[in-house]
Structure formats: structure tokens, C-alpha cells
Structure 1
């Protein structure tokens, strides 16, 4: 897969040399607070190894893209999706020092455009844990609409949260 970009950001598939960055995103307590429980390193390593594999629309794992600032070359986050049954479930994680720059929305818009044009994907979904207000804002800015709330569906550190399911169907 080739790299693609937006006005300030470039994205490419995660590679072996991205381990330290990937690991940081998966252990930073601010990043994972509304996403998932802390994971042991071996579980993060297994996730990373799967995501470094060549990806196609027939892959059952996530296409994971590292998001870089074009101006500095510094990685700011990851974005991507898992494609199944004609729907791409999208997700993203960004380092806290890059919160508030609009990088989540900008990278998601670029991902939606690229996947629609290059891969013919037109249906997208995102599952957000209740209370992850910033993530819900990113989705709404990108045209997603809240489609369903699944009560008490997801546990983080022993506390149950509602899942907010957002959907977007792009029409060309």
C-alpha cells in the first residue's frame, strides 16, 4: 500500500520500526482510558505483529496506518479499519500532546476518501465507549451519525460502559 496524505498529515501502513510508537499508544493511560484495559506487553506485541502483515480487503485483521506530521515527520497517532462484510470499522489513537490540533478529524477524512476511491469502501462504522466525547466529536465532524447505543456493553477496568455505534454511508 502506498502512502497518502492530507494537508498536514501523511499516513502509511505500520512497519516493524514503528514498534516503540505503537507500544506507547497502547500503554499511555490517557490514550487508553476510554478505549480498552491495559494489556500485557506480549499481547501488544502480538497485535503489532498482525498489523505489520501485508493487508488486503480480504484480511481479517486491521489495516493500521501511522499518522505523521508532514512538516516534522513526527508520528502523532494511528488510524485504520477492519473490513468485514462490506463495512469498515474505523478506529484511531493519538498521543495526548497532539490532542486539540484537529488531527483526528483530518486523518479520518483522508482515510475515508482514500478507502472510498482506492478500495471502493462506502460503508463505515465506529464503536465508541460512552464518555469518549472527543472521539464522538471527531466522528460527527466527519459525517458519522449515532445509530445505536448498546447499554452496559463494554468493560474497562471493571466498569461497564455503553457502546455508542456510529455509522456513515458515503454516496459517490
Structure 2
């Protein structure tokens, strides 16, 4: 994985517009919203920056980009997220990249917890979180709308390792 950079705009755009990626995450945003989100991810990250750490997931063998992962720290909790291109779904790349991210994040003393929000029905993302040590903390009914339908938010949490 490596930090996102300006040259990754096409990847970021695809991840935010491909129906096979976003169907259980969010409605397709306007291009300006995606661009603003992308620009915000280019900000240099530090544990106190109030910015997202956004990393591009890259296949070690082929050098192909597969998606993005990262987190933002708020009140000592790292809110994690990830999006993978459809051709990499179901191949354990989400789990592998999230485990690597969490392993690296354990060196940040200010992080005490991790949190992820998954839309109801996104079973694959829930499996990734469980494999990475997250537990379902709560369910908020009808919390999010996608395509005119209300879905529950599934809130997953994990404590940072105590050393």
C-alpha cells in the first residue's frame, strides 16, 4: 500500500461511480463531490491532522491497483473504510489490506479504538471486519438511504491492542 496521490484520480472516480462497488455503500455522488472528497484525501496525514489517511492497495506481483483503504482519527477512534474494484471482490484482498492497515496503526499511541459503519446487506464487508477482529456493536435502523430505500447502519468496533 502507498499514500494516494493526484495520479490516482481515475481509480478514486471509478471506486465512487461503479455500481458494482457502490451499490451497498452509497448513491453515486456528483462529480464535484467526488473531486472534493479526493482532494481532501491528498492532504498530508498525521495522527492529529483531522484528515483521512488514504492508501492505495496494490498487488505486489502485478503492481495493479486494487482499491483504497484508510481511516480518520476522531477522539482516539480510527474510523476505517475501504473500497475495492469489483475484479478483486471475494479474493481476501479487503481482509489482507485491512489487517495490514490495523497492524501499522497499532504503532499510533493515540488510537484506542477502531470503528467501521457498514450498510445493511453488505455481508462481504461485514465478513472482512469480523475476520479483522471487529464485533458488531449496534444496529441503527433506517439510518441510510441508497436508491430511495432505507437501510440500517451496522456499527462495528474493535479495541486497539494493549501493549
**TM band (smaller chain):** over 0.9
Deviations 1:37-65 (A, max 9, x none): 11111111111111011111122232111
Deviations 1:113-164 (A, max 9, x none): 10112x2223100000000000000000011000100111111122110000
Residues 1:130 and 2:133 aligned together: no
Residues 1:151 and 2:141 aligned together: yes
TM-score, structure 2 as length reference: 0.96
Residues 1:88 and 2:78 aligned together: yes
Matched position secondary structure for 1:137: helix
Superposed CA RMSD: 0.9
Give the match for residue 5 of structure 1. Answer: none
Give the match for residue 67 of structure 2. Answer: 77
Where does the alignment leave 5 or more consecutive residues of structure 1 unmatched? Answer: 1-10
Give the match for residue 7 of structure 1. Answer: none
**1:53 aligns with one of 43, 46, 51:** 43
Where does the alignment leave 5 or more consecutive residues of structure 2 unmatched? Answer: none
CA distance in 2, matches of 1:100, 1:164: 20
Residues 90, 124 of structure 2: 8 Å contact kept: no
CA distance in 2, matches of 1:70, 1:122: 30
Write out the 4+ residue segments of structure 1 that deviate beyond 3 Å after TM superposition.
none
CA distance in 2, matches of 1:151, 1:38: 22
**1:140 aligns with one of 130, 135, 139:** 130
Give the match for residue 170 of structure 1. Answer: 160
CA distance in 2, matches of 1:47, 1:24: 13
Number of aligned residue pairs: give it: 161
